[in-house]
Amino acid sequence: MRVSMEVGERPVRGARSAGGETLKAAVFDLDGTLANTLPAISKLLVKVAAEQGCSVTARQAATAIGKPPAAAFGRLLGRPEDDGRVQAAISRYRELFAYEVLCQGPQLLYPGVTAGLSALRAHGVELAVATSKTTRSAEALLDVMGIRDLVGPVVGQDMVRRGKPHPEMVLRAAGRLGVPAWQSAYVGDTVGDMRMAVTARMEPVAVTYGSGTFGELAAVAGTRMCSSFKDVVSVIAAARPRPATAAAGPVVRPRRAAVPVGAQQRRR
């Protein structure tokens, strides 16, 4: 089912009736979803903020994870995003990232990710990554974890004009795969991820082992809750595409209850 075209966005496949079909694509967040980088990133944020003269707790740093770099450091340093100290902090963070985070390699993978991605590919699901990281940083992380070959396009913050929770990022990823958004899922660990998925008309799939709490994630209408990556694979493999009429544009869906997966859900 893989398409050989690598450069530019692929032609979108013709919309067909959703009856009896499963999802054709899954787009993934990276930190807190595929990669257990949250402890290392939190520690690095605290360190860089301290170098800029700001005392930041690990809890405060955790709330900034998943946001674009300027927004994250602007929040932590209490300064405008275009402030010189914010920009200096971003440069320092990127400089230290390889030494503080990438050095951990495959140990950063959450349990079941490699096998799960392989299973989805075998099921005929196209895979991509959409993340607030820069594309270069995301590619490097995927490489050191050994899963770069399992996913197709990688869309980073530097590839879009508007970051999360605006849907531009995931819509670009789906376009690169050649799959309509309504036949796709987005998997992430934050409320912003789920709101982005809903606005893009994608199936919102939340993991509860990342930075978002169960209650926060479940409050987003229609979110499917997963306590493990094995649950993620089960949800995507079984989910049905939305009606073709949903492809018309990013309109928020009517509210329905969150759908938990698995007998036990970890409440945070």
Q: What is the pLDDT of residues 141-187, one digit of tens each?
A: 999 999 999 999 999 999 999 989 999 999 999 999 999 999 999 99
Cβ–Cβ under 8 Å, residues 190 and 211: yes
Using pLDDT thresholds of 50, 70 and 90, give the confidence band for residue 69.
confident
Cβ–Cβ under 8 Å, residues 52 and 88: yes
Q: Is 29 a catalytic residue?
A: yes
pLDDT at 264: 39
Return the structure tokens found at 192. 């912003």
Question: Domain 38-104 classified CATH 3.40.309.10?
Answer: no
Domain ranges, ordered by start, for the chain: 25-36+109-238, 38-104
CATH homologous superfamily, domain 25-36+109-238: HAD superfamily/HAD-like (3.40.50.1000)
**pTM value?**
0.78
Examine domains 25-36+109-238 and 38-104 and report if their fold is the same.
no
Lowest mean pLDDT of 30-39, 110-119, 244-253, name the range. Answer: 244-253
Using pLDDT thresholds of 50, 70 and 90, give the confidence band for residue 115.
very high
Using pLDDT thresholds of 50, 70 and 90, give the confidence band for residue 243.
low
Of the residues 29, 189, 193, 231, which is catalytic? 29
Using pLDDT thresholds of 50, 70 and 90, give the confidence band for residue 98.
confident
CB atoms within 10 A of CB 191: 19
Using pLDDT thresholds of 50, 70 and 90, give the confidence band for residue 256.
very low
Task: Return the axis-axis angle of helices 38-51 and 84-100, rounded to nearest 10°.
Answer: 140
Average pLDDT, the chain: 85
Return the structure tokens found at 123. 């099921």
Q: What is the percentage of the chain residues whose pLDDT exceeds 90? A: 69
Q: How far apart are CA 88 and CA 69, in angstroms?
A: 11
Q: Is 149 a catalytic residue?
A: no
- HSE of 225 in the Cβ direction (CA atoms, 13 Å)? 25
